[in-house]
Amino acid sequence: MKKTLIIFFAVFSLARLSLAQPSPKQVIKEIEFAFNHNVKLLSDDFYFKTYLSISNYQEGYFSPSQSSQIIASFLSSLPKYDFEITNFSSQNNLAYLSAKIKFHKNSSENNKRVFITLKYIDNFWQITQVTFN
Name the percent of the chain lying above pLDDT 90: 63
Region 86-90: what's the mean pLDDT? 95
Q: Is 42 exposed, middle or buried, given 0-12, 13-18 or 19+ CB atoms closer than 10 A?
A: buried
Long-range contacts, 14-22 (Cβ 8 Å, 24+): 21/93, 21/120, 22/125
Residue 4 domain flag: no
Confidence of residue 9 (pLDDT cuts 50, 70, 90): very low
Does 93 score more than 90 pLDDT?
A: yes
Q: How confident is the model at residue 78 (pLDDT cuts 50, 70, 90)?
A: confident
Domain presence at residue 11: no
* Residue 44 placed within a domain: yes
Confidence at residue 26, expressed as pLDDT on a 0 to 100 scale: 86
Structural domain boundaries, residue 121: 22-132
**17-75 per-position pLDDT tens digit:** 345 677 888 889 999 999 999 999 999 999 999 999 998 899 999 999 999 999 999 99
- Residues contacting residue 28 through CB under 8 Å, at least 6 positions apart: 85, 88, 95, 97
- Whether 17 is covered by a domain: the verdict is no
> How many structural domains does the chain have?
1
Residue 10 lies in a domain: no
Share of the chain above pLDDT 70, in %: 84
Identify the CATH number of the domain in which residue 98 sits.
3.10.450.50
Give first-to-last CA distance, the chain, whole Å: 63
pTM value is 0.81
Residue 5, in any domain of the structure: no
